[in-house]
Amino acid sequence: MPTLKNGERLSEEGDFDVIIVGGGPAGLNTAIMCASRRLKVLLLEGDKVGGLLTTLYPNKIIPNYHGFPEGIVAIELVRNWLHHLRFAGVSVKSETVLNVNRDMTVNTIKNKYRSKVVVIATGTRPRKLGIPNEERFSRDGKGVHYFASHPEEFLGKRVFVVGGGDTAIDAILELVNLADDLTLVHRHEGFRAFDENVEKVRRSGAVNLLLNAEIITIKGRRRVEKIVVKQGRRKLEKRVDAVIVAIGFVPNDQVFKALQLKTGERGFVLTDGAQRTSCEGIFAVGDITNVGLRLITVAAAHGAIASHHIYSYIRKPY
């Protein structure tokens, strides 16, 4: 493998037409669509291919992805994509990307790759509360979670879910018949989640609602034991076995910080109608973009749009 002047190793596989950074729904669909146009594609993912569908929601039923009127389990959808990737001939590398550069090179922990186009598909990560002991107890199964990835783990437990959007309400519905005591903590009176699902929570009669409230401290020795909730002027201390923090997501922007791409107020990448960013040759797709609606079908559409314009950018057929 050739070694560059600065000690980096350049991949022996040669240059690629397209390098896609991130293996979530948007990255997978972009890779498949680009490969279908006979472009040489490399997909890089440092964690599990499938993104949040694999890491947070493997057992979640996806109710609104076209072609599955009765829904499909998230991990099954990912398996279908992986099969399609192999069929399309996409190169997939399990390598953590360190940075993306304006000269269309991508540095990973192992190699340096060159391309004609780079697609940013790094998605999002769960937003954290930023309160005492949250970080400490979010590792090694100590009681802080960011989704009910494996609902059976909460059987018979006292669980507090934080948030008022779809992720929080989905977590509540997953656990309503499993947890021994289930409480939803939300900073506001109203909810951002689908009205139908909010009504299911209310009708269940099994969920305690703490509205206009927020968790300010998590307590425990080796794992979560108690939480402190502030509601108005009063503070409540509650015994608890698990806390699920579901307050939204923030962009995974570490690998492209140096590019100084134009972003919106919340840090999501701004793109045009072709999914092009403010940097020549850099495209962005999926939840990392400043898209208004974060759905898997939207991510898939981004892949189709981007691949069409990437092909034109590289091959210049007209």
Kindly give the confidence (pLDDT) of every residue in the chain, 318 residues in length, as a single tens digit, with 9 standing for 90 and above.
Answer: 555 555 555 555 568 999 999 999 999 999 999 999 999 999 999 999 999 999 888 888 888 888 899 999 999 999 999 999 999 999 999 999 999 999 999 999 999 999 999 999 999 999 999 999 999 999 888 999 998 888 899 999 999 999 999 889 989 998 999 999 999 999 999 998 889 999 999 999 999 999 999 999 999 999 999 999 999 999 999 999 999 999 989 999 999 988 999 999 889 999 999 999 999 999 999 999 998 788 899 999 999 999 999 999 999 876
Return the SS3 of 68: coil
- CA 174 to CA 206: how far, in whole Å? 12
In 3D space, the residue among 239, 299, 243, 251 whose CA is nearest the CA of residue 275 turns out to be: 299
- Paired residues of 226 in beta bridges: 219, 239
What's the pLDDT at 13? Answer: 58
Can 16-125+249-315 and 128-245 be said to share one CATH topology? yes
Contact 218, 224 (CB under 8 A): yes
What's the pLDDT at 14? Answer: 62
Phi, psi of 75, rounded to the nearest 5 degrees: -65, -30
DSSP character for 146? S
Render pLDDT for 287-311 as a digit per residue (tens, 0 to 9): 999 987 888 999 999 999 999 999 9
Residues 64, 67, 68, 72, CA torsion sign? negative
Angle at 141 between CA 140 and CA 146, to 5 degrees: 105
Q: Which helix (H) or strand (E) holds 210?
A: strand 207-211
Token pair of 96 as six digits? 């953590």
E-state strands within 129-197: 144-145, 158-162, 181-186
10 Å Cβ neighbour count for 9? Answer: 13
Return the SS3 of 62: strand
Counting every residue, how long is the chain?
318
Domain coordinates in residue numbering, the chain: 16-125+249-315, 128-245
Render pLDDT for 213-262 as a digit per residue (tens, 0 to 9): 999 999 999 999 999 999 999 999 999 999 999 998 999 999 998 899 99
- Paired residues of 250 in beta bridges: 125
Which fold, 128-245? FAD/NAD(P)-binding domain (3.50.50)
What's the pLDDT at 63? Answer: 84
HSE, CB side, 13 Å, CA atoms: give it for residue 308: 9
Which fold, 16-125+249-315? FAD/NAD(P)-binding domain (3.50.50)
